[in-house]
């Protein structure tokens, strides 16, 4: 079997160390400034590509291209033709799926077992949006005015969309932004995360191959404070669709004020995952563990506050810890790997600071708790699955988003008290409940203030089911019919007929 170190030298046609340009108006161009930045494999430090580094000048050019395309022939492309484009794009993504998922693994570290497992999700999204393209319609609405006056609504594309995505799943995140753009007839300038821009750029190539007209999809890699900020503030952008941290989300909202562009935000979380003593414990142990350890904890809706009923607390926490200890950490290219590296040195610093903080606050690491540096792991940003016991609600490891494979396990006894504690963070993205008692499940499903409640499972996602936040986890929904509305304006039309 190959080892992590021999696999470090595996080459990928799109990550062979060469230069990658940005996509503006259907052409692959250098940054106006000529600047470039590096993209490296977080498991090995190896250089994957140098990438054109966009800033405000490139954003200006891309927004102009998107605006011109929006008002040009694209506005006359029929829903059926947009559907065909999306289906063709989906077919190309399917044909190149292994290449794309490997690119995600190389660029941001997630195990290939995970990235290749996203096939149904990614293709399902594209084909769902294709279905939506021909299903968008207004309504005929009776009114009560005197005389003959007819009223109806039109649903119109909102216009130029600025899409800003994070690095924790570039393939799915890019499709989640481009899909509704093509379905509704909008145009987009997408800024991938500086940590992992390659899959978005490769998807740009496939979009052109599918026949997406010039200017409809533009991809401008660059840093958040420059390219991202310029896009969020741009007066030629009608809507920003942002996924990332709540602090950046706040900057986006402030930046949007200049032209009052529409904003949708999918931000962070500190989601409660609640285990009752009547749960199917054999299912709840791996469920609660992977609700956090999947993708090394780099998922905004990870169930990081693990509330366990006091009666089973010690046993359950030990079992989750042993499950975590048994997970194989390594280079994501190894098919056996279950936990890859964190994406960057910056994330490593952030997560290891929380590991120290947890101990200082008096929590006990039942497993994990230190960075891994042995053998082939030395060159990457590896943190093992970590479970903290003896966690109190007021500790920072129980309140702040760590974005690493770190569980804070907290005991509970009383249901009313539990509900109040589960809701007492500033976030409200995901939540989990493990119980065999259907009345407890229903009660918590209503009581938890979060955009998703998963009962006896965690992190289920489907293109038809809306996903999004309460409170400081953001606003707007992605997936489902609500997602389409985020990209549409409603126009009322009145026609006096007599
Ligand atoms: P994370 O902690 O997940 O990296 P960020 O919110 O920092 O979350 O980054 C998510 C995306 O937001 C990235 O594409 C990043 O470049 C971009 N970004 C960061 N800062 C800003 C900003 N001030 N304005 C717009 N985009 C930004």
Asked whether 194 lines ligand 1 (CB < 6 A), one says yes
Q: Find the 476 Cα to ligand 1 centroid distance in Å.
A: 18
- Take residue 308 and report the two structure tokens written for it: 């366990």
- At 57, is the secondary structure helix, strand, or coil? helix
What string of H, E and C letters represents the secondary structure of 146-159? Answer: CCCEEEEEEEEECC
* CB 326, CB 335: distance < 8 Å: no
- At 302, is the secondary structure helix, strand, or coil? coil
Asked whether 224 lines ligand 1 (CB < 6 A), one says yes
Asked whether 228 lines ligand 1 (CB < 6 A), one says yes
Residues 6+ apart with CB under 8 A from 440: 276, 278, 415, 433
* CB 87, CB 255: distance < 8 Å: no
Ligand 1 atom 17: the closest Cα is on which residue?
224
Active site residues: 266, 300
- State the Cα–Cα distance between residues 51 and 46, nearest whole angstrom: 15
DSSP state of 142: -
Asked whether 216 lines ligand 1 (CB < 6 A), one says no
Residue with tokens 């393209």: 133
Ligand 1 atom 14: the closest Cα is on which residue?
193
Count CB neighbours of 82 within 10 A. Answer: 24
- CA geometry: angle at 303 spanning 327 and 318, to 5°? 50
pLDDT tens figures, 100-157: 999 999 999 999 999 999 999 999 999 999 999 999 999 999 999 999 999 999 999 9
DSSP state of 46: -
* CB 249, CB 429: distance < 8 Å: no
For a substitution probing ligand 1, which of 173, 220, 244 has the most ligand atoms within 8 Å of its CB? 244
Q: Which ligand 1 atom sits closest to the C-alpha of 192?
A: 14
Q: Which ligand 1 atom sits closest to the C-alpha of 247?
A: 6
- Take residue 109 and report the two structure tokens written for it: 């570290």
- At 483, is the secondary structure helix, strand, or coil? helix
In 10-64, DSSP assigns E strands to 19-20, 22-24, 27-29, 36-40, 47-52
Task: Walk along the chain (498 residues) and give the pLDDT tens digit of each residue.
Answer: 334 444 545 679 999 999 999 999 999 999 999 999 999 999 999 999 999 999 999 999 999 999 999 999 999 999 999 999 999 999 999 999 999 999 999 999 999 999 999 999 999 999 999 999 999 999 999 999 999 999 999 999 999 999 999 999 999 999 999 999 999 999 999 999 999 999 999 999 999 999 999 999 999 999 999 999 999 999 999 999 999 999 999 999 999 999 999 999 999 999 999 999 999 999 999 999 999 999 999 999 999 999 999 999 999 999 999 999 999 999 999 999 999 999 999 999 999 999 999 999 999 999 999 999 999 999 999 999 999 999 999 999 999 999 999 999 999 999 999 999 999 999 999 999 999 999 999 999 999 999 999 999 999 999 999 999 999 999 999 999 999 999 999 999 999 997
Q: Find the 193 Cα to ligand 1 centroid distance in Å.
A: 7
* CB 445, CB 457: distance < 8 Å: no
- CA geometry: angle at 159 spanning 158 and 160, to 5°? 130
Q: Could you tell me whether strands 305-309 and 239-243 are parallel, antiparallel, or unpaired per DSSP bridges? A: unpaired
Q: Which ligand 1 atom sits closest to the C-alpha of 164?
A: 14
* CB 271, CB 297: distance < 8 Å: no
Strand partners, 45: none
Asked whether 227 lines ligand 1 (CB < 6 A), one says no
Asked whether 190 lines ligand 1 (CB < 6 A), one says no
Asked whether 191 lines ligand 1 (CB < 6 A), one says yes
In 8-112, DSSP assigns E strands to 19-20, 22-24, 27-29, 36-40, 47-52
Q: Which ligand 1 atom sits closest to the C-alpha of 232?
A: 25
- At 45, is the secondary structure helix, strand, or coil? coil
* CB 326, CB 357: distance < 8 Å: no
- Tell me the CA end-to-end span of the chain in Å, nearest whole number: 81
Write the DSSP assignment of 210-235 as a string of letters. Answer: HTPPTTTEEE--B-IIIIIHHHHH-T
**Residue 137 half-sphere exposure toward CB, CA atoms < 13 A:** 6
């Amino acid at each position: 079997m190959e080892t992590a170190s021999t696999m470090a030298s595996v080459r990928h046609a799109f990550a062979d160390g060469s230069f990658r340009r940005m996509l503006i108006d259907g052409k692959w161009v250098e940054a106006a400034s000529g600047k470039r930045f590096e993209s490296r494999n977080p498991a090995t430090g190896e250089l994957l590509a140098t990438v054109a580094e966009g800033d405000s000048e490139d954003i200006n050019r891309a927004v102009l291209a998107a605006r011109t395309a929006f008002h040009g022939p694209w506005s006359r492309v029929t829903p059926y033709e947009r559907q065909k484009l999306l289906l063709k794009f989906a077919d190309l993504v399917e044909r190149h799926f292994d290449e794309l998922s490997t690119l995600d693994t190389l660029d941001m570290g997630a195990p290939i077992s995970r990235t290749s497992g996203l096939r149904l999700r990614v293709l399902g999204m594209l084909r769902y949006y294709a279905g939506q393209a021909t299903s968008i319609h207004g309504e005929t609405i009776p009114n009560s005015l005197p005389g003959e006056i007819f009223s109806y609504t039109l649903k119109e594309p909102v216009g130029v969309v600025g899409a800003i995505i994070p690095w924790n799943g570039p393939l799915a995140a890019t499709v989640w932004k481009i899909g509704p753009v093509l379905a509704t007839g909008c145009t987009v300038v997408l800024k991938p995360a500086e940590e992992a821009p390659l899959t978005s750029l490769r998807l740009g190539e496939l979009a052109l191959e599918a026949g997406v007209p010039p200017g409809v999809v533009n991809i401008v890699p660059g840093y958040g404070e420059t390219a991202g900020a310029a896009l969020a503030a741009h007066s030629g952008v009608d809507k920003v669709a942002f996924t990332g941290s709540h602090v950046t989300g706040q900057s986006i909202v402030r930046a949007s004020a200049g032209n009052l562009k529409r904003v949708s935000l999918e931000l962070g979380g500190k989601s409660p995952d609640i285990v009752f003593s009547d749960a199917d414990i054999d299912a709840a142990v791996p469920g609660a563990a992977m609700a956090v350890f999947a993708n090394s904890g780099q998922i905004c809706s990870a169930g990081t506050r693990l509330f366990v009923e006091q009666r089973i607390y010690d046993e359950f926490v030990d079992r989750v810890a042993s499950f975590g200890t048994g997970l194989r950490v390594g280079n994501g290219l190894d098919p056996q790997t279950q936990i890859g590296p964190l994406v960057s040195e910056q994330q490593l610093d952030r997560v290891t600071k929380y590991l120290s903080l947890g101990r200082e606050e008096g929590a006990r690491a039942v497993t994990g708790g230190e960075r891994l540096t042995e053998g082939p792991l030395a060159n990457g940003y590896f943190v093992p699955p970590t479970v903290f016991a003896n966690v109190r609600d007021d500790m920072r490891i129980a309140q702040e988003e760590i974005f690493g494979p770190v569980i804070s396990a907290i005991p509970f006894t009383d249901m009313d008290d539990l509900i109040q504690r589960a809701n007492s963070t500033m976030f409200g993205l995901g939540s989990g409940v493990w119980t065999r008692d259907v009345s407890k499940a229903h009660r918590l499903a209503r009581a938890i203030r979060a955009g998703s409640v998963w009962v006896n499972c965690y992190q289920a996602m489907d293109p038809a089911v809306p996903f999004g936040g309460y409170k400081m986890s953001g606003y707007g929904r992605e997936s489902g019919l609500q997602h389409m509305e985020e990209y549409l304006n409603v126009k009322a039309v009145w026609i006096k007929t007599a």
